[in-house]
Amino acid sequence: MSQSRPRPFSRRRPPPLPEPRGPLSAAVTALLRGSDPGNPPPPAGCSPYGEDLQLALYVLYELHYQGFEGVPDDREWDSALLALREAIEGRFLGALREDVPVDGTDSAGRALEELQVEPVDGSGSVSHFLRDQGSLGHLRDYAALRSLYHLKEADPHAWVIPRLHGRAKAAMVAVEFDEFGAGRADEIHAELFADLMADLGLDTAYGHYVDAAPAEMLATVNLMSLFGLHRALRGALVGHFATVEVTSSPASRRLAEAMRRAGAGPAAVRFYTEHVEADAVHEQVVRHDVVGGLLADEPGLEADVVFGIRTTTHLEDRLAARLLGAWRAGSPALSPRR
C-alpha cells in the first residue's frame, strides 16, 4: 500500500504568470498585473489555434483553477476579463465548429466506435512512437507537456456533475471518485502524475511548463475548460470525457511499456499501469451510463456529444503531429522558452 507523500510547497501555491506570446496575451497579462494595456487587439484578428490566442485563453481559464501569483482571487469574475474571454472563446469555438462539422445523421455510438479503430502500423500515434522508439528524453518532453492536463486531470469534468441527472450523474460521480483517489489524497490521479514527473526528474509545480508548451498543447487543455465552464456545452464535455476514457486504456498500456523500456522509475510506470485497468472499467460505465444516461434524459444533445468526441480527437491529432514532427526531426518538443 502506498504511503502519503508530502508535496513541495510549490505544488500548493499559484504559478507565476507566463510570458506573453503576442499582443492579445500581453494585454491579458497586463490586465492581470493591474496595468492599462490600452485596447486589446480584437481576437477576430488572431489565429484561432495560434500561440497568442491559445495562451491568452489559457491564462483566463486558469483564474478558475489555481490562479496566478500576485493576481487577486476576485479577478476570476472581473467583467472586463470575462467579456474579453467571451470574445476569445467565440473565435476558438467558431474555428472548431467549422473544422469539425456535425450533422443530424451522426450518432454518439458510431463516434465512440470510431475511437477504437487504430492504424495497423501505429502511424500518427504518440503512444506507439514512445513504446517502439521513444527515449527517456522523449518521455520527459511528453510528461512535461502533459502535466498541464494531468495535474488537473479530473477537475474540468467535475463541472458537468450539477448539470446531469439520475443515471448519468451517478455514473459520472462514480468515475470521478476514482479519478480523485477514491477517498485517498495520495491516490488522486493528479498526485500520481506528479510522482511520475518526479521519477523523470521534472519539476512537479503546477503550471511550471506552460512557457514550454506549444499552442497545440494549450488548445487541448483549453478545450476541457471551454466545455466545462458552459452549461450549454455539457453534452460536448461528456463527449470529451468519453473520448478520454475510451482511448486511455490501450494508450496507457503502450506508455507503461515505453517507461519500462526507457528505464523510468516505478512511479512513472505505475501511473500508466493504474490507468490500463481503471480506464477499461471506466470506459464501459461512461459509454453505457454517462453518455447513455445523458442521451436518455436529453436526446437533443447527441450532436453536442459527437462534437465533443470529434473536437477532442481533432486537437489531439494536431498535438500528435507537432510532437512526432519534432521528435522525428531530432528536435525536442518543449519550446526553448522554458
- Residue identified by cell 448539470 is 163
Q: Lowest mean pLDDT of 62-71, 87-96, 176-185, name the range.
A: 176-185
Over residues 45-66, mean pLDDT: 97
34: left (phi over 0), alpha (psi -120 to 50) or beta: left
Reported for 65-74, long-range contacts at CB under 8 A and 24+ positions apart, including other chains, are 65/152, 65/155, 66/14, 66/15, 66/206, 66/207, 67/14, 68/14, 68/15, 68/16, 68/17, 68/32, 69/13, 69/14, 69/15, 69/16, 69/17, 70/16, 70/17, 70/33, 71/14, 71/17, 71/32, 71/33
Q: 120 pLDDT band (50/70/90 cuts)?
A: low
User: Cell triple for residue 181?
Assistant: 483517489
Residue type, 2: S
- Cβ atoms of 279 and 245 within 8 Å: the answer is yes
**The pLDDT of residue 281:** 74
Over residues 266-279, mean pLDDT: 86
Over residues 276-295, mean pLDDT: 86
For the question of whether the overall pTM of this predicted structure is more than 0.75, the answer is: yes
Domains parsed from the chain with CATH numbers: 9-99 (no CATH), 108-328 (1.20.910.10)
Over residues 37-43, mean pLDDT: 82
Q: In this predicted model, which residue has the larger pLDDT, 223 or 104?
A: 223
- Cβ atoms of 264 and 183 within 8 Å: the answer is no
Q: In this predicted model, which residue has the larger pLDDT, 124 or 139?
A: 139
Q: SS3 for 72? A: coil
For residue 46, CA distances in Å to 28, 51, 76, 216 come to: 14, 9, 23, 15
Using CA of residue 299, residue 303, residue 304, residue 310, what is the dihedral sign?
A: positive
**The pLDDT of residue 117:** 78
Q: 3 pLDDT band (50/70/90 cuts)?
A: very low
